[in-house]
Structure 1
Amino acid sequence: MICGVGSQRPVHPADEEETMRNLIQFERLREDEPLLSPSGRYKLCYDGEGVAIVLDTHTGGAVWRAGEEGRPVAGDLLLGDRDAVQVEAPGELRTVWRSPIAAEGARSLILTDTGDLELLNGDGARIYTSRSGPVEPRPLRNSAPVAAITADTFLVRETAKWRRTVTREQDGPLRLSRHHKSSGLISYLPAPLVRWMEQEGTVLTWRMLPDDGRPGPRARTLCLEDSDGTVLWAEGSWEQGADLPPAEPHGHAGPELGAGGRLRNQSLTSASGAHTLTHRFDGNLVLYCDATLRVVWSAGTDWAGPGWTELTGDGELTVRNVWGAAVWSSGTAGAGGSRLVVRDDGRVALLDAGGTEVWAIDAHTSCAEAGPAVARGSVLRRGQTLLRRSLTSADGSTVLGHRDEHRLALIADDGTWIWWTYLGDAEGAALCLDEDGMLRIRGADGAVVREEAGPADELRVEPGEILLCRADGAVVWRNGEPVDEPEPAPAVPPSRDGSGGAGPELPEPETAPEEDFTAWLEPLTGDLTYCVTVIHDTAPGEALRRLGAEPGQITAGTWDELLTRGEAEDSGDDDLLVAAFALGPHTLLVEDNGRAGVVHAELSRGTFAVALYEAFSGATTFRVFRDGEVVADHSENGGAEPTIPEVRAALAAMGADDAQDAAFEDGLELLCRTAGVRPTVADVTGTALGAIIPMP
């Protein structure tokens, strides 16, 4: 028999107190926040005299002091000017001592597990160590095995506009940097993920991949690929990256999973409800004791991200990431396992066709205490609780499960969150359909945290929705929103001849559909931040040239192809990506990153133009141009009084009085009505002209 064990990262002393792992340039070392080495053995701090020292916590002795031999210097320690470790007089900006620990380009100071002070450059690569002096980091161009990335070697992809680097943190994580001139972004990959990535025959590199694994524009993405070029992992991939293979059906939330079955945000629960095995959204496979609310075992794959767990046809229990790469397995391929069973005593066993165990998770002392009343399949009934478990629609497409310990989510087959609710800060909170029919969130102590809806008799997960229903089938709550009670049947009106009979049925009066002025923007930039401009009686190519595009910069393609082109050409923050869509004789300009339309009055030369810019902060710029001049400005700092008939007519149609308020609250409608256009999704999802324009 093979016993499964969870891979757990050891807890270092450095994880148990508020400490720093690196000291950024010009940031002073604080008395209450020492700099620790990864294991916690060495500490950069101040002694009782206010002198910065490196303390060996095992021996209690100092292995380094600020100052010369026998002449310690008290004061604030920092990596200061001249890229050197130095000491300043307390409360002053006056340097009283400068150490020989210095290197041009140093941007941070770290402390190693050998007690050495080291300097890192802006990429995070080591360039100086107090033990051996200057170090020359070695770049690995474009691709390399993860194991080849060390303190002195780093992965880099550099163009005229962007610099992307991957460097190794001293305790294992990888630091990812993406910089363009003065702007940039830094993120980290955790050490367990990095250890998994150190596989033979794989390389870390950048490839053009669909954003978040979805159809649409492609982005330059850091990924791990094998010798065949198959992607095993990609940065930022929280949606499905690979095609999900078919799975054999099984009893959802039941105690067994057969060969070919799959769990994705789903669970198995023992017959009595005492123990639950759950595949969590973070990628971990976890066994809970429901009676004690304890985790008794995990695969230790919480770093893997959303994916799935499967029992393969050859009998191996495997946890996979969104790209289908195995991140943990039971090692039982070919051993004859055909079904996985969660038992009431807390044992999880893989059985062969004859019922003999070929593998087991035996990490829990036998425990037969029953948990809360168990919900199975797709329905939660009165008196039942959903705690660290899942409900699944009959077709398997929609799952209600725990996103983490504090959130419950309804998740569609493509990973989209349809509905979610916050369970509270305390662990052990659950969704309960109480005996009185009310759907409530209850804490581990049974106290009511929040009331969601009701009364009703069952909560059902259907394809794409969650319904709270009465016994007669009436829906009282859907996807988090209450459903109004059915209205009583209308009284029978008297007939036209006055006889009181029903008479002929009269047709319902037709109502004009409500106009939608925003749906067309969603496939492009969404509705959080955008800049759109309508130019009358102007062709798309001419509009782009007026905006500053050279003929060689203009190409035909879809919006997604323009964004992909921008990524392929490493466009920076100072490059304007803009598409020009034909709206009859007019042109609609849509910018991906900019606000050129609201400041280019020359777009309206010999004609009429309307431009709207919505910033991420919510600040709005709305301007109308005629023949190269601003004729109406209803921005935050513009005028409130409309100055042209087109704006007055638009406000009248909207039933609005204040142009500034209308621009802020319903800017796209004001733009469309003022310009006299009604863009549709079809207008902006076909081929258009686009350009990438370097902006001054």
Structure 2
Amino acid sequence: MLLGNGGAFQVENEEHRTVWVSGIAAPGARLAVITDDGDVELLSGEGITLLNSRTGPVQAAPMPEAAAAADISRERYLVREGKQRRLVTRNRDGSLRVSHDGVTTTLVAPLARWLEQDGTQLTWRMLPDGDRKAWTLCLVNADGDLIWREGMRNLPTVLPPAQPHPYGGPELGRGARLRHQSLTSLSGAYTLVHQDDGDLVLYHNATHRAVWATNTWWAGDGWAELTEEGDLVVRNLCGAPVWRSGTAGSGAERLVVDNDGGFALLDASDAVVWRIDTGGHRSAPEATPARGSALYRGQRLQRQSLTSPDGSTVLAHRDDRRLVLFGEDGRWLWDAYIHHAERSYVVLDEDGVLRVRAEDGTVALDLGGPADELVVVEGQAQLRTSDGRVVWRNGEQTAAPETGAPPAADFTSWMDALMDDTAYCVTVIHHIDPDEALRRLGAQPERVTTGTWGDLLELAEREEAYDFEDIVVAAFALGPHTLLVEDNRCEGIDCPELSAGTFAVSCYMNINADSAFVVYRDGETVADHSRDSGSREPTTPEVCQALTAMGAPDVIKAAFLHDLELLCRTAGVQPTVADVTGPARIAVVTDR
């Protein structure tokens, strides 16, 4: 049995001759459906109902040019006549069918319900569509403002400015927003992510499970924000709200993702004004999640994001097996598709290779490296070595990494002269400036000044700083890194917080041959090769590469006899005496 050209059901024999024709027909019918009531309905190719088997022919009424979405029904449809006839009809499940020039798309039922807002109309406007303009179905409010349009999912749009926030951290403040970005609890157990389908989702990372969502996946691209009024709102790219917490005027100052499976809006006194609680548990992932703009060795991305310092560029690991680099307008600048790893994560392994691994840890894809960090900057995702050399950019290998060089002879002589006095402690910290390095060491900003090493020694004499409590220290800029030199103390070898969010290495030597050599990463000590108590097994790739370049099999001996060379090779720097005899940021640190 088939639906014939005359709009009637007919039965044909094996010779394709018609042997029976139904008593009901609707010329122009192209589709037959059986309703929940058991009726048969015949529809045109554009989805217009032409006939109901029980009630007879249906005279569907056209509504030209514009109408409220709620007025579109099985008996009424929206139409725009022209060279290409455009229609919007209602499907039986409540969704809307959009047809023109033989092309049909469906606006799913949740979106169709959202379009049925009071005081709005569906209509067509000439709007940009790629490099041209085209008639585009839109929803406009009573003032004629555009609040939705077709093609919202892939519409390049630069958003208005928003307040910056600690990207990838657990908090979002008033006036800040998420677009393709994530917030992760302090323990790393839960991540709240704004997905590029418009959904805001809370994931339990250990089980790869979504535990809460706004279910606004139908909205397309947009953003989520905590408004100045204290309302958590998910918006589409036209800025129209598609979901909100309803907390405007509550005094909410910040959103915080906690370790217990929920997130809350807190006021200025940290009182909870609104909360989502999923009844979760504290199990954390096996690796530290990356935050901010950089991912370091041993860290991972799992439905999480990195954001460039200026907020313009986002690298997001998504739930659909993709790693995507988004530009400021939301365009994809680069992506990698991991087709054979349904539950995956991105990790910079200890050998420096950026990989995608499946849930069981097996390697699904090698992306690039080796390198020491993955950094997102404006328009780019870069793999860098410890000396700042870019070896991979947006999926393309650019150069082979090199091992750091030994320090210049004049720098070594200068450091030896320091030891003739009492002692020295040298620390290299990656990707922070001298003022931040001194702040982490405990210096008060008002006590930091600019001067030479000689100026620092004079300052120490004036302040009688050469006792056990005070730290006499200079911070020298080495490209993007900072070199800390202490004249009388060894604070750097017991200060892992210097490396918060980055990498650092420190060595100490005094005239009594007491020595120490430590490596830090992300606020923790990851290697200690001190002479008396350190490990004889090099475990960090930076130290292993440095020892290989030096031809030194014994890390303890190298750290004692060639401490400065091992430090410089491990940190990937090559300071000269010119680097440490010019102006620096200097301070005497007290009361640490």
Match of 1:171 among 93, 97, 114: 93
Supply the distance in 1 between the matched residues of 2:287 and 2:160 (Cα, whole angstroms): 34
Cα offset for 1:379? 0.3
Question: 2:177 is matched by which residue type in structure 1?
Answer: R
Question: 1:191 is matched by which residue type in structure 2?
Answer: A
Residue 251 (structure 2) pairs with residue 336 (structure 1) = yes
Does the C-alpha gap of structure 1 residues 199 and 293 become closer, same or farther in structure 2, counting only changes over 3 Å?
A: same
C-alpha contact (below 8 Å) 2:119/2:142 kept by paired residues: yes
User: Which residue does 1:82 correspond to in 2?
Assistant: 6
Task: Give the TM-score normalised by the residue count of structure 2.
Answer: 0.66
Secondary structure (helix, strand or coil) at the match of 2:218 reads coil
User: Which residue does 2:200 correspond to in 1?
Assistant: 285
Structure 1 residues 113-137: Cα deviation after superposition (integer angstroms, max 9, x where no partner): 1111100012211110111111111
Supply the distance in 2 between the matched residues of 1:321 and 1:402 (Cα, whole angstroms): 21
C-alpha contact (below 8 Å) 1:240/1:323 kept by paired residues: no
Counterparts of residues 316-465 of structure 1 (less than 5 Å): 316-370=231-285, 372-465=287-380
Aligned length: 403
Supply the distance in 2 between the matched residues of 1:298 and 1:372 (Cα, whole angstroms): 25
Cα offset for 1:92? 4.1
Cα offset for 1:256? 0.3
Does the C-alpha gap of structure 1 residues 458 and 241 become closer, same or farther in structure 2, counting only changes over 3 Å?
A: closer
C-alpha contact (below 8 Å) 1:280/1:402 kept by paired residues: no
Counterparts of residues 497-516 of structure 1 (less than 5 Å): none
Structure 1 residues 485-537: Cα deviation after superposition (integer angstroms, max 9, x where no partner): 4899xxxxxxxxxxxxxxxxxxxxxxxxxxxxxxxxxxxxxxxxxxxxxxxxx
Question: 1:125 is matched by which residue type in structure 2?
Answer: I
Counterparts of residues 236-635 of structure 1 (less than 5 Å): 236-239=151-154, 244-370=159-285, 372-485=287-400
Structure 1 residues 434-456: Cα deviation after superposition (integer angstroms, max 9, x where no partner): 11111111011111011111111
Residue 117 (structure 2) pairs with residue 117 (structure 1) = no
Supply the distance in 2 between the matched residues of 1:243 and 1:140 (Cα, whole angstroms): 35
Supply the distance in 2 between the matched residues of 1:426 and 1:98 (Cα, whole angstroms): 53
User: Which residue does 1:93 correspond to in 2?
Assistant: 16
Supply the distance in 1 between the matched residues of 2:286 and 2:259 (Cα, whole angstroms): 10
C-alpha contact (below 8 Å) 2:158/2:329 kept by paired residues: no
Cα offset for 1:222? 0.7
Does the C-alpha gap of structure 1 residues 101 and 425 become closer, same or farther in structure 2, counting only changes over 3 Å?
A: farther
Task: Give the TM-score normalised by the residue count of structure 1.
Answer: 0.56
Match of 1:192 among 104, 110, 113: 110
Supply the distance in 2 between the matched residues of 1:453 and 1:486 (Cα, whole angstroms): 11
User: Which residue does 2:139 correspond to in 1?
Assistant: 224
Cα offset for 1:204? 0.2
Does the C-alpha gap of structure 1 residues 243 and 200 become closer, same or farther in structure 2, counting only changes over 3 Å?
A: farther
C-alpha contact (below 8 Å) 1:281/1:402 kept by paired residues: no
C-alpha contact (below 8 Å) 1:210/1:218 kept by paired residues: yes
Supply the distance in 1 between the matched residues of 2:294 and 2:158 (Cα, whole angstroms): 28
Structure 1 residues 158-215: Cα deviation after superposition (integer angstroms, max 9, x where no partner): 12x2211111111111111112xxxx21111111111110100000000111225xxx
Bigger shift: residues 385-394 or 407-416 = 407-416
Supply the distance in 1 between the matched residues of 2:279 and 2:38 (Cα, whole angstroms): 41
Question: 1:84 is matched by which residue type in structure 2?
Answer: A
C-alpha contact (below 8 Å) 2:198/2:223 kept by paired residues: yes
C-alpha contact (below 8 Å) 1:193/1:304 kept by paired residues: yes
Bigger shift: residues 197-206 or 168-177 = 168-177
Supply the distance in 2 between the matched residues of 1:269 and 1:432 (Cα, whole angstroms): 16
Supply the distance in 1 between the matched residues of 2:327 and 2:383 (Cα, whole angstroms): 18
Residue 133 (structure 2) pairs with residue 133 (structure 1) = no
User: Which residue does 1:211 correspond to in 2?
Assistant: 129
Supply the distance in 2 between the matched residues of 1:132 and 1:452 (Cα, whole angstroms): 63
Structure 1 residues 412-452: Cα deviation after superposition (integer angstroms, max 9, x where no partner): 10122111101234432111101111111101111101111
Match of 2:69 among 115, 124, 146: 146
Secondary structure (helix, strand or coil) at the match of 2:111 reads helix
User: Which residue does 2:529 correspond to in 1?
Assistant: none
User: Which residue does 2:119 correspond to in 1?
Assistant: 201
User: Which residue does 2:84 correspond to in 1?
Assistant: 162
Structure 1 residues 282-326: Cα deviation after superposition (integer angstroms, max 9, x where no partner): 110000000111000110011111100000011110000011000
Counterparts of residues 647-658 of structure 1 (less than 5 Å): none
C-alpha contact (below 8 Å) 2:5/2:28 kept by paired residues: no
Does the C-alpha gap of structure 1 residues 269 and 371 become closer, same or farther in structure 2, counting only changes over 3 Å?
A: farther
Secondary structure (helix, strand or coil) at the match of 1:156 reads strand
Cα offset for 1:82? 2.1
Supply the distance in 1 between the matched residues of 2:381 and 2:67 (Cα, whole angstroms): 46
Secondary structure (helix, strand or coil) at the match of 2:110 reads helix
Does the C-alpha gap of structure 1 residues 135 and 290 become closer, same or farther in structure 2, counting only changes over 3 Å?
A: same
C-alpha contact (below 8 Å) 2:318/2:324 kept by paired residues: yes
Cα offset for 1:401? 0.7
Cα offset for 1:361? 1.1
Secondary structure (helix, strand or coil) at the match of 1:283 reads coil
C-alpha contact (below 8 Å) 2:50/2:58 kept by paired residues: yes
C-alpha contact (below 8 Å) 1:309/1:320 kept by paired residues: yes
For structure 1, which runs of at least 5 residues remain unmatched after alignment? 1-76, 489-696
Structure 1 residues 17-49: Cα deviation after superposition (integer angstroms, max 9, x where no partner): xxxxxxxxxxxxxxxxxxxxxxxxxxxxxxxxx
C-alpha contact (below 8 Å) 1:276/1:287 kept by paired residues: yes
Cα offset for 1:231? 0.5
Supply the distance in 1 between the matched residues of 2:257 and 2:162 (Cα, whole angstroms): 19
Bigger shift: residues 272-281 or 413-422 = 413-422
Bigger shift: residues 125-134 or 479-488 = 479-488
Secondary structure (helix, strand or coil) at the match of 2:376 reads strand
Question: 1:250 is matched by which residue type in structure 2?
Answer: H
Calculate the aligned-residue CA RMSD, in Å: 1.8
Secondary structure (helix, strand or coil) at the match of 1:195 reads helix
C-alpha contact (below 8 Å) 2:313/2:327 kept by paired residues: yes
Supply the distance in 2 between the matched residues of 1:472 and 1:336 (Cα, whole angstroms): 46
Secondary structure (helix, strand or coil) at the match of 1:277 reads strand
Supply the distance in 2 between the matched residues of 1:255 and 1:202 (Cα, whole angstroms): 37
Does the C-alpha gap of structure 1 residues 426 and 483 become closer, same or farther in structure 2, counting only changes over 3 Å?
A: closer
Supply the distance in 2 between the matched residues of 1:243 and 1:483 (Cα, whole angstroms): 30
Does the C-alpha gap of structure 1 residues 487 and 315 become closer, same or farther in structure 2, counting only changes over 3 Å?
A: closer
Does the C-alpha gap of structure 1 residues 485 and 435 become closer, same or farther in structure 2, counting only changes over 3 Å?
A: closer
Supply the distance in 1 between the matched residues of 2:328 and 2:157 (Cα, whole angstroms): 13
C-alpha contact (below 8 Å) 1:288/1:295 kept by paired residues: yes
Cα offset for 1:245? 2.4
Supply the distance in 1 between the matched residues of 2:132 and 2:17 (Cα, whole angstroms): 53
